Structure 1
Amino acid sequence: MIDDAGSTLTAELSAYHPLWHLKRINWLEGFGASVPEDEPITTRVFLIDTGVHVGHPYLSKAIDAQLAIDFSALPFGLRYVDGINKPIEFDPEILDHLPLSANDKATISQLMQRASGKLCKAPLETALHTAFPSHGTACAGLIGARMPGFFTDPLPSLTDGKPALAVPYWGVDPLSTIIPVSTSLNPTPGQLILALVYALQNQADVIHLPRGISVAWMSDNGEYDNPGLSLKTDQDEAEWEALEALLFAISRTVPIVCAAGNSGENSLAYPANLSLEDKGENGIISVGALSSAGFRSSYSNYGPGLTVVAPSDDATVFNRYQIRINELGRRYRLHDYAGYVGAGLPRVDFSREAILSTDIPGQNGYTGYSPLGYDEDDDTFAHANDPLQGAFTLFGGTSAASSIVAGVVALMTRRAKMKGQILSGPQLKQILRATARGTPADTKADDINGDKASLELLFGSGLVDAGKAVGKIGA
């Protein structure tokens, strides 16, 4: 299919702007090299977030709803029901081959024995009316949304004015299978441990954690951040320590893709900061955000341990270190920024591009838009021509960037299976690094927080290149 349609897709991608992020990462070459000629090959991506709207028409074929699971308290996560729910059963021997201490194994085993997650087939219809799954829905779309009719002959056109649907769209790996694993908005370590073990037990090829996790209990100032608002206990600390050990242990087999964080700091969010190899070789892949202008997205964390960056949106900066402002936006007109322009402060090009992804329809979606939502930045109506009533959204952050990389790792994993190879998490991570584009044409340095950071600290090895990364496998 790709051989016949490659030139068509190339022309379509060149003209169809909402998929600009795919063009930027050399997607077509990577996708084409990962499509089997005969028998389909499954690549499983476990998305650990606050849920996914599995009924979205661009996600319904991509998601394995029978394996989708919820480890959160019901009021704080996507609820599932099919009339035949059953408690999840863990394999007691699943930990035997992992390099874990006896204490960590005991802590994890206790959680497995009292796990309260439920296997399910489909979400309640009321899931459409909660905003909790909106973030995960956007991440899932970037990983592997499937445009209905995409794999048909001939392919639906994006540029002839008569597309099969009003919103032609697909994710980085529309052949992968996505398994949503729901946790609370601010998850406990126990939820995350169960989510990771569940992914391992069900043959995960890629694990994606698009959210940073608060771990203030590790700080030296005595502060403790417990999502349950209870006092710190020895069991809490044991679970956090077991979680970290488990992340390292699983990543040595299965790559774990993590968002670097959106606080604009010179250190990575947890668990992305575990990508540093001071505790040994690991397959934790930390991903920062790059604006379409080639600068680090203003909010994107940076620093030691950053693996690669991927396309995302941008945000305004106005401080003593730099001016980065959308001069065409409504906020610029409402505030007296103009008086400071030209006053000698460093200027950094602001990027107005954002990432298009899937969303829960209506005003409870990621952006909170109604079907004809109002975008206060550019003073225009959003989704005005969307037949799916706001089922798409502009997305961003390191969540978007890391979701794109999770899709690339899924392409790489399927390519390895096609070549009869089994690549570990560290091996896949190294290939991403070796093939990333870190040249000035792709990544441009800026001063943030007064830091004169190097390109490596700002961008890791550079902008992920799907074509080169997939092509490196079996070459």
Structure 2
Amino acid sequence: MKKRKFFVISLFFVVFLLSGCIFSLYKSRISGSISPFVGSVVEDKQSVLAIEPSTSSIEFEHHVSGEYIVKFNDWLDRNKASSLFMSVGMEKSSIQKALSFRGSKTNYFLIKASEENIEKLKRLPEVEFVEPNYLFFSQAEVTPNDPYYPEQWHYSLINLPAAWSITKGSSLTVVAIIDTGVRFDHPDLQGIFYDDGYDFVDDDPDPTDPGMSYDGKIISHGTHVAGTIAALTNNSQGVSGVCWGGSGIRILPIRVLDDSGIGTSFDVARGIVYAVEHGAKVLNMSLGSPSDSSIIRDAIKYAYDNDVVVVCAAGNDNGSLRYPAKYPETIAVGAVRLDKERAWYSNYGPELDVVAPGGDLGVDQNGDGNPDGVLSTCWISNDGELYEFLQGTSMAAPHVSGIVALLMSKGYTGVETIRKILRYTAEDLGEPGFDNYYGAGLVDAYRALTYDTGYEPFIVWTVDAVTGVIDSITSADEGGNFLLTEVKARSVYVYAWRDVDHNMYLTSGDLYGYYGYSGGNPKDGTPTAITVEPGETITVEFQFSPIITDRLKPVFEGSLLQKVLEIKEAAVEEYYNKLERK
């Protein structure tokens, strides 16, 4: 009897072990990587295309003579808009260009009209507003150069070398530079561009900077900004970038300023919309205008509603902040010198968030034989120079854009979360606490990257294609690489999601993708199933993009959502535990 009992127990134990082995054979592994989608993430391309190019000449005023922007209360197609314009005596050809934002029930028209026509147009009940096509100006100045990192005093001023020990940037982050364009042929910027971008001055897909005339030279303002953010670093050449160029951060170049460093509010607005709808999560705008433009305000709000961080130069007039820095949705950046004193030109006011190095070409406070400008990549057609010292809030803003990109690379997300981090970790300057001349103070890259809240992991998971149940979950690393080790279903869908606004739901502005995504709004697409044989390890790559639309209802509900959120919370806790151990 005892032998039989022993035999039964032994048999049960063997069967149990075998069943475990058999079960383990069905657990498969999926490794892979995710990356940003290159292209428009909305289906309607008309929101950024011109109807026909404008041929108006630009006068040196604050707006384009004879050009106005019209917004109607409700959506009107071109024919209906033309009829309204003709009803006040305008020509049928008055419409120059059109712009719309995805999810909006209104659109905008750039028109040519006389002041008499405009006064009549303003009285129509269908018209919400009519405003001039305002001009925006670059915020920089120029002086001779010296191409070495030791001359980039401005990086140690913001504690950047220490921050590089935490991250040098991630290929998951895209920064748009809305400026004069860039020089793609600059040797210190090779390989950093996410896409070719767009030129809204010439209305073509080539935003190469022809050069901006200043002080007897032809320079590339946008190239200087690009270099501060992501110049190739540690390559034995030229200068370094805040995001250690070459390590991952990608630049989306958008040209909205012409060869005089001037652009219109209509083109700047189109540039903002293009950046949002092509995957950029950080916008650097080293430009400004004294005029409060309704279309720019709406475009900035559009970016904000889609969880895009817009960093703006405060202005160089030693007066109140320029627009769009003055809008509450942006992060407004003033400038300081090497001694951390406010630069004499830097604009100020209650809307200022923080300050960053902008330089002062009139002094050499560190005695290195060079004026204390900000040194970065440039392009000077007159003498072939590739690097230049410049000063201005244009130079301060990309320091902050670079820090924001580093924060996003580590998983810190959300416009207000990032604003809070920048402010709370800034070095207080001037009067104690917040003040109009320094805002919250001088940005500190290292302290920002070690802040104790705001981290948001990129969750990757599989769903059983037959039952619809979540099968396996993990999180991607800084480079977008992941490994799912507990895949049990044979046919699965693979998803990725970063909850950018921390609201626990898949909503506009969040980064979202799946295996099979090939462009357009990722929420509207269908994933492709992957077949995994028992015990097999396969490798997949797929893309993600921001969701550009109105606020959405939750996609994941009930127990499915709860399981994803539990893993996300565990990843957040693990991240902060590692920070404490360091």
- TM-score per shorter chain, which class? 0.5 to 0.7
What is the distance in 2 between the residues matched to 1:133 and 1:179?
20
Contact 1:49–1:210 under 8 Å retained in 2: yes
Contact 1:359–1:392 under 8 Å retained in 2: yes
The structural deviation recorded for 1:455 is: 6.0
Contact 1:432–1:464 under 8 Å retained in 2: yes
What is the distance in 1 between the residues matched to 2:388 and 2:239?
13
The 5 A counterparts of 1:144-155 are 144-147=230-233, 150=234
Partner of 1:468: 447
Contact 1:51–1:132 under 8 Å retained in 2: no
What is the distance in 2 between the residues matched to 1:51 and 1:464?
26
1:63 aligns with 2:193: yes
The structural deviation recorded for 1:119 is: 2.7
The 5 A counterparts of 1:222-237 are none
Q: In the superposition, relative to structure 1, how do residues 23 and 202 fare at CA in structure 2: closer, same or farther (>3 Å)? A: same
Partner of 2:249: 176
What is the distance in 2 between the residues matched to 1:308 and 1:123?
31
The structural deviation recorded for 1:170 is: 3.3
What is the distance in 2 between the residues matched to 1:306 and 1:43?
25
The 5 A counterparts of 1:380-419 are 389-416=384-411
Contact 2:171–2:250 under 8 Å retained in 1: no
Partner of 2:511: none
The structural deviation recorded for 1:328 is: 12
Contact 1:51–1:133 under 8 Å retained in 2: no
The structural deviation recorded for 1:41 is: 3.3
Partner of 2:178: 48
Give a deviation string over 1:347-405, Cα, whole Å, max 9, x none.
Answer: xxxx9421111111442xxxxxx3xxxxxxxxxxxxxxxxxx52100011000000111
Q: In the superposition, relative to structure 1, how do residues 123 and 182 fare at CA in structure 2: closer, same or farther (>3 Å)? A: closer
Q: In the superposition, relative to structure 1, how do residues 188 and 129 fare at CA in structure 2: closer, same or farther (>3 Å)? A: closer
Q: Please tell me the residue identity of whatever aligns with 1:248.
A: K
The structural deviation recorded for 1:471 is: 1.6
Contact 1:303–1:457 under 8 Å retained in 2: yes
Contact 1:212–1:270 under 8 Å retained in 2: yes
Q: Please tell me the residue identity of whatever aligns with 1:246.
A: A
The structural deviation recorded for 1:187 is: 2.0
Contact 2:289–2:322 under 8 Å retained in 1: yes
The structural deviation recorded for 1:295 is: 0.8
1:193 aligns with 2:272: no
| Between structures 1 and 2, the one with greater strand share | 2
Q: In the superposition, relative to structure 1, how do residues 197 and 314 fare at CA in structure 2: closer, same or farther (>3 Å)? A: same
Give a deviation string over 1:223-281, Cα, whole Å, max 9, x none.
Answer: xxxxxxxxxxxxxxxxx42321221231241110000000011x111111113xxxxxx
SS of the residue 1:59 aligns to: coil
Partner of 1:434: 424
The structural deviation recorded for 1:16 is: 5.3
The structural deviation recorded for 1:129 is: 9.7
The 5 A counterparts of 1:132-281 are 134-147=220-233, 150=234, 164-165=236-237, 167-174=238-245, 175-184=248-257, 185-215=261-291, 240-252=293-305, 253-265=307-319, 267-275=320-328
Q: In the superposition, relative to structure 1, how do residues 41 and 51 fare at CA in structure 2: closer, same or farther (>3 Å)? A: closer
SS of the residue 1:274 aligns to: coil
Q: Which protein has the larger Cα radius of gyration, Structure 1 or Structure 2?
A: 2
SS of the residue 1:178 aligns to: strand
What is the distance in 2 between the residues matched to 1:352 and 1:132?
20
The structural deviation recorded for 1:30 is: 2.2
1:23 aligns with 2:163: no
1:357 aligns with 2:376: yes
Q: In the superposition, relative to structure 1, how do residues 327 and 362 fare at CA in structure 2: closer, same or farther (>3 Å)? A: same
SS of the residue 1:289 aligns to: strand
SS of the residue 2:153 aligns to: helix
Q: In the superposition, relative to structure 1, how do residues 171 and 132 fare at CA in structure 2: closer, same or farther (>3 Å)? A: farther
Contact 1:299–1:314 under 8 Å retained in 2: no
Contact 2:433–2:440 under 8 Å retained in 1: no
SS of the residue 1:457 aligns to: coil
Give a deviation string over 1:56-93, Cα, whole Å, max 9, x none.
Answer: 011122123x4321000x3xxxxxxxxxxxxxxxxxxx
SS of the residue 2:326 aligns to: helix
| Between structures 1 and 2, the one with greater helix share | 1
What is the distance in 2 between the residues matched to 1:171 and 1:56?
17
Partner of 1:90: none
What is the distance in 2 between the residues matched to 1:134 and 1:214?
23
What is the distance in 2 between the residues matched to 1:328 and 1:35?
27
The structural deviation recorded for 1:29 is: 2.7
Q: Please point out which of 457, 464, 470 is paired with 2:436.
A: 457
SS of the residue 2:395 aligns to: helix
Q: In the superposition, relative to structure 1, how do residues 314 and 434 fare at CA in structure 2: closer, same or farther (>3 Å)? A: same
SS of the residue 1:194 aligns to: helix
Q: In the superposition, relative to structure 1, how do residues 173 and 199 fare at CA in structure 2: closer, same or farther (>3 Å)? A: farther
What is the distance in 1 between the residues matched to 2:270 and 2:193?
20
Give percent identity, aligned residues only. 30
The structural deviation recorded for 1:210 is: 0.3
Q: In the superposition, relative to structure 1, how do residues 190 and 129 fare at CA in structure 2: closer, same or farther (>3 Å)? A: closer
**Gaps in structure 2 of 5+ consecutive residues:** 1-147, 456-575, 577-582
Contact 2:173–2:250 under 8 Å retained in 1: yes
SS of the residue 2:284 aligns to: strand
SS of the residue 2:343 aligns to: coil
The structural deviation recorded for 1:34 is: 2.6
Partner of 2:339: 293
Q: In the superposition, relative to structure 1, how do residues 424 and 295 fare at CA in structure 2: closer, same or farther (>3 Å)? A: same
Q: Please tell me the residue identity of whatever aligns with 2:378.
A: D
SS of the residue 1:203 aligns to: coil
What is the distance in 1 between the residues matched to 2:197 and 2:241?
21
Q: In the superposition, relative to structure 1, how do residues 129 and 208 fare at CA in structure 2: closer, same or farther (>3 Å)? A: closer
The structural deviation recorded for 1:470 is: 1.6
The 5 A counterparts of 1:342-353 are 352-353=371-372
The structural deviation recorded for 1:191 is: 0.9
The 5 A counterparts of 1:81-120 are 117-120=203-206
What is the distance in 2 between the residues matched to 1:203 and 1:396?
30
Number of paired residues? 296
Partner of 2:563: none
SS of the residue 2:410 aligns to: helix
What is the distance in 2 between the residues matched to 1:55 and 1:171?
20
What is the distance in 2 between the residues matched to 1:30 and 1:411?
9
Contact 1:251–1:426 under 8 Å retained in 2: no
- RMSD of aligned residue pairs (Cα, Å): 3.0
Q: Please tell me the residue identity of whatever aligns with 1:402.
A: A
